[in-house]
Structure 1
Amino acid sequence: MRIIGIDPGLRRTGWGVIERREGGRLSHVASGVVATQAGDLAPRLAVLAAGLRAVLAAHAPQIASVEKTFVNRDPAGALKLGHARAIALLVPAEAGLSVFEYAPNEVKKTVVGVGHAEKAQVAHMVKILLPGAAPGGADAADALAIAICHAQHAGFAGLRVGA
């Protein structure tokens, strides 16, 4: 079962695709970032949507997991993140994927064992859990962590991934 994790952001949306095999073994398929340039909102959202559609087409995940929005003190920043997050939810849903959402602390607790882990700790554990993975930065590492979180939660629940 292939799972894509998406870490939404207006400037940089991280993505990571993993494969979960029988027995729960995880392997890295691909990861990266869809980046936008500063400017008007609508064209930036279009870039994010096109980039995520290309990732889905290239790597054929069957399940999507997306990080939930955290509360932000800056209302304008929270709104922009919400727009990027909407694209992260919409594109996989349009492709017919089931979309699951996880809070940042839940992802960190699942991957690192501590809900308030630092980004460096998350990236380190992603490399341990996915031997050979070399995510291109914190956004891609976070996206892989989101995919790992779903794989672990689905496995611990005794469910088929995506059930």
Structure 2
Amino acid sequence: MLRIIGIDPGSRFTGVGIIDAHKQQIKHIHHETIRCGTGDFPERLGLIFSGINDIIKQYNPHEMAIETVFMAKNAQSAIKLGQARGAAICATYAHSVKVHEYAPKAIKQAVVGKGGAAKTQVQYMVGLLLNLQQKIQEDAADGLAVAICHANNRWTQEHIIAGRTGHWRKL
């Protein structure tokens, strides 16, 4: 069983999702949105760092997956997003959790089946894949989507490598 924390970084809202993955099965463990507000920017980065730190202490994930920075229309927004990612990565790295990065289109492709999916489609598919009855806040759904993407990618890579060594078998 592999516990994965997925993070959708943002300077106002950071989505976090935790799943357990075993072979091709995934199980929902936790999700939340760290609300940073609109106050002093360094304070918001501190909220991201401490929030992720607390979640990691509580749930002990083995690996972390995070969304990469996309090309924003506004350079200032891209810089802030990069700093929010840095705060999340530092909090994770402080606990020796291995970090993996995925492009937004790859995450949507893994969860919805198309890289240009809308946030509502991601929310719907995450709920469906994890058999959740309640509607998930969109940033938390994005965090879960990042974790699901990593679980799928990890499983696929394990089987490609196993196929190259001659030890591959159907599960």
Residue 38 (structure 1) shift: 1.6
Q: In the alignment, what sits opposite 2:110?
A: 110
Question: Residue 157 of structure 1 aligns to a residue in which SS?
Answer: helix
Aligned residue runs from structure 1 range 7-86, under 5 A: 7-21=8-22, 23-86=23-86
Question: Residue 158 of structure 1 aligns to a residue in which SS?
Answer: helix
Structure 2: distance between partners of 1:154 and 1:135? 27
Residue 37 (structure 1) shift: 2.2
Whether the 8 Å contact between 2:13 and 2:37 is mirrored in structure 1 is no
Residue 43 (structure 1) shift: 1.2
> Are positions 1:88 and 2:95 aligned together?
no
Aligned residue runs from structure 1 range 132-143, under 5 A: 132=132, 134=134, 136-143=136-143
Question: Residue 152 of structure 1 aligns to a residue in which SS?
Answer: helix
Structure 1: distance between partners of 2:106 and 2:36? 27
Residue 136 (structure 1) shift: 3.7
Larger deviation, residues 7-16 vs 36-45: 36-45
Whether the 8 Å contact between 1:67 and 1:102 is mirrored in structure 2 is yes
Could you tell me the TM-score, scaled by structure 2's length? 0.88
Q: Could you tell me the percent identity over the aligned residues?
A: 37
CA separation of 1:52 and 1:134: change in aligned 2, threshold 3 A: farther
Residue 132 (structure 1) shift: 2.6
User: Could you give the per-residue CA deviations for residues 48-106 of structure 1, whole angstroms, max 9, x where no partner exists?
Assistant: 11111111111111100000000011111111111101112111111101000000000
Residue 134 (structure 1) shift: 4.0
The unaligned stretches of length 5 or more in structure 1 are none
Residue 42 (structure 1) shift: 1.2
Residue 32 of structure 1 aligns to which amino acid in structure 2?
A: E
Q: In the alignment, what sits opposite 1:126?
A: 126
Structure 2: distance between partners of 1:134 and 1:4? 20
